[in-house]
Amino acid sequence: MEKRIYLDNAATTKTAPEVVEAMLPYFTEHYGNPSSIYGFAAANKEVITGCREKIAGILGAKTEEIYFTAGGSESDNWALVAAAEAYAAKGKHIITSRIEHHAILHTCEYLEKRGYEVTYLDVDEAGFIDLEQLRAAIREDTILISIMFANNEIGTIQPVEQIGQIAHEHGVLFHTDGVQAFGQVPICVDEMHIDMLSASGHKFNGPKGIGFLYIRKGVKIRSFIHGGAQERKRRAGTENVPGIVGIGAAAERAARTMEERTAREREVRDYMISRIEKEIPYCRLNGDRTMRLPNNVNFSFRFVEGESLLIRLDRKGICASSGSACTSGSLDPSHVLLAIGLPHEIAHGSLRMTLSEETTKEDADYVVDALKEIIQIQREMSPLYEDFIKKEKSRS
Ligand SMILES: *Cc1c(COP(=O)(O)O)cnc(C)c1O
């Protein structure tokens, strides 16, 4: 087999074999529609409740507060649009940040076209929002604060508990996009004052096309898909039973393995970061050093073009990303890297590597060695780098 080192786990993860195994019988044997009356099919209703229970238990939520969706994007859309509509009588102001996933940002733009007003909070150079700025942004007519738990590009973990506290002090709903955080960081919806939380199966070794939205009991939110009575009449459509079984098994696995798995990832992450910083000049670590997802490594390299770096890494069997999967392919630098203050030309030379529990120190060595070699080649081809080195030399 060709060598492949997969370092794009923020884009998607491998479905764990035990998850696939749990799902299989729900395609071939237990294929009944959970809404049917006869026992063969109706048994699947209990199975779905069991999965809901598992996820609720991990979050410290109630079983009936978990709603299955088709993934992170749907959960984000639902939380924002439905809460905006349900609370429109109270006000039409929403607060979010500049570094959200496009599932949040584009939904906010949609709401702006429909008469809502959105405040986009700036972030500092590590990617944190400013809590004082948040407090100052809250108005009489603010109905919702939506701030992501952890950023998918630079890995920065926000002070979620404090954000929730501020929201609740002001009687404002708090939604968080927890897609990158779930399974990587312990989450407790009560302690953290979270009213709604989005998550997606394929980001924590579950299947694609299944996610959930946690909605705190008492939060007014309208149905997202109209039709049958599934998901307490809020999200109609025959349940994706294999997907639900898969996300339940993946959530259970993620919780069970979290401590050991993230400790290992952290170790390889920090090893990689320190080797890169020592051995590759003119680089910058993006995101915070400690409040950072355990598997995230994100660097900008000066005088390097990110896309061609990715292509050269691909030739060596290394799968990585320059920004988020949704923005790569376009030439605009990532909105997240611009928001943390990187100039365009430096943002263009950025590389995101997101590890898994399978990433070893040997993998990290192979990747850093490859990076050193490729970056050297790229810089030698760069007229800007040549000028820069000449200037450096004349200065010393
Ligand atoms: C991947 C991701 C999403 C979208 O999830 P899908 O399941 O792919 O729709 C949303 N938010 C964040 C932070 C993500 O990383």
Cα separation, 324 vs 102, in Å, equals: 10
Distance 188 CA to ligand 1 centre (A): 20
* Ligand 1 closest atom vs CA 12: 1
Give residue 176's domain range. 17-254
DSSP element (H, E) containing 146: strand 142-146
> Ligand 1: which residues within 6 Å by Cβ?
71-73, 76, 101, 103, 148, 152, 177, 179-180, 200, 203, 211
Q: Is 201 marked as binding a ligand?
A: yes
Burial letters 159-186, b for 16+ CB under 10 A, else e? bbeebbbbbeeeebbbbbbbbbbbbbbe
The answer on 284 and 182 residing in a single domain is no
Q: Is 356 marked as binding a ligand?
A: no
Quote the pLDDT of residue 396. 77
The answer on 322 and 235 residing in a single domain is no
The answer on 315 and 239 residing in a single domain is no
* Ligand 1 closest atom vs CA 324: 15
For 288, counting Cβ atoms within 10 Å of its Cβ (0-12 exposed, 13-18 middle, 19+ buried), the class is: middle
Cα separation, 298 vs 286, in Å, equals: 5
Best of 97, 102, 180, 328 for a ligand 1 pocket test (most atoms within 8 Å of beta carbon): 180
Distance 245 CA to ligand 1 centre (A): 20
**Is residue 81 a contact partner of residue 234, using CB atoms and an 8 Å limit?**
no
Quote the pLDDT of residue 325. 45
The answer on 352 and 220 residing in a single domain is no
Distance 78 CA to ligand 1 centre (A): 13
Both tokens assigned to 149:
């738990």
Q: Which of 223, 254, 285 is the last residue of a domain?
A: 254
Q: Whose CA is nearest to atom 8 of ligand 1?
A: 72
Best of 96, 151, 179 for a ligand 1 pocket test (most atoms within 8 Å of beta carbon): 179
Distance 86 CA to ligand 1 centre (A): 24
Q: Is 382 marked as binding a ligand?
A: no
* Ligand 1 closest atom vs CA 76: 10
The answer on 270 and 246 residing in a single domain is no
Quote the pLDDT of residue 2. 80
The DSSP secondary structure of 288-312, one letter per residue, reads -SSSB-TTEEEEEETT--HHHHHHH
Amino acid letter, 60? G
CATH of the domain at 350: 3.90.1150.10
340: helix, coil or strand?
coil
The answer on 287 and 180 residing in a single domain is no
**Pairing between β-strand 296-301 and β-strand 283-285 as defined by DSSP bridges:** antiparallel
Cα separation, 149 vs 175, in Å, equals: 9
Q: What are the helix (H) ranges across 130-240?
A: 131-137, 160-169
Q: Decide if 283 is catalytic.
A: no
28: helix, coil or strand?
helix
Q: Which of 229, 254, 279 is the last residue of a domain?
A: 254
Both tokens assigned to 256:
């069970």
The answer on 336 and 216 residing in a single domain is no
Of 51, 283, 319, 326, catalytic: 326
Q: List all residues 6 or more positions away from 47 whose beta carbon is below 8 Å from its beta carbon.
A: 26, 30, 34, 241, 244, 245
The answer on 138 and 41 residing in a single domain is yes
Cα separation, 75 vs 179, in Å, equals: 10
Quote the pLDDT of residue 329. 54
Q: Which of 254, 279, 313 is the last residue of a domain?
A: 254
Domain tally for the chain? 2
The answer on 153 and 36 residing in a single domain is yes
CA dist 79 to 67, 175, 240, 264, Å?
Answer: 11, 7, 20, 34
| Residue the block writes with tokens 């410290």 | 60
The answer on 197 and 48 residing in a single domain is yes
For the whole model, what pTM was predicted? 0.96
Best of 203, 213, 321 for a ligand 1 pocket test (most atoms within 8 Å of beta carbon): 203
Distance 88 CA to ligand 1 centre (A): 26
The answer on 262 and 195 residing in a single domain is no
Both tokens assigned to 94:
């929403």
The answer on 230 and 213 residing in a single domain is yes
* Ligand 1 closest atom vs CA 72: 5
Quote the pLDDT of residue 326. 47
- Residuewise pLDDT in 10s, the chain (396 residues): 688 999 999 999 999 999 999 999 999 999 999 999 999 999 999 999 999 999 999 999 999 999 999 999 999 999 999 999 999 999 999 999 999 999 999 999 999 999 999 999 999 999 999 999 999 999 999 999 999 999 999 999 999 999 999 999 999 999 999 999 999 999 999 999 999 999 999 999 999 999 999 999 999 988 999 999 999 999 999 999 999 999 999 999 999 999 999 999 999 999 999 999 999 999 999 999 999 999 999 999 999 999 999 999 999 999 999 864 444 555 678 999 999 999 999 999 999 999 999 999 999 999 999 999 999 999 999 999 999 999 999 987
Can you name the residues that pair with 299 across neighbouring β-strands? 285, 351
Cα separation, 146 vs 76, in Å, equals: 9
- Residue 274 CB: number of other CB atoms within 10 A? 12
280 alpha-carbon distance from chain centroid: 28
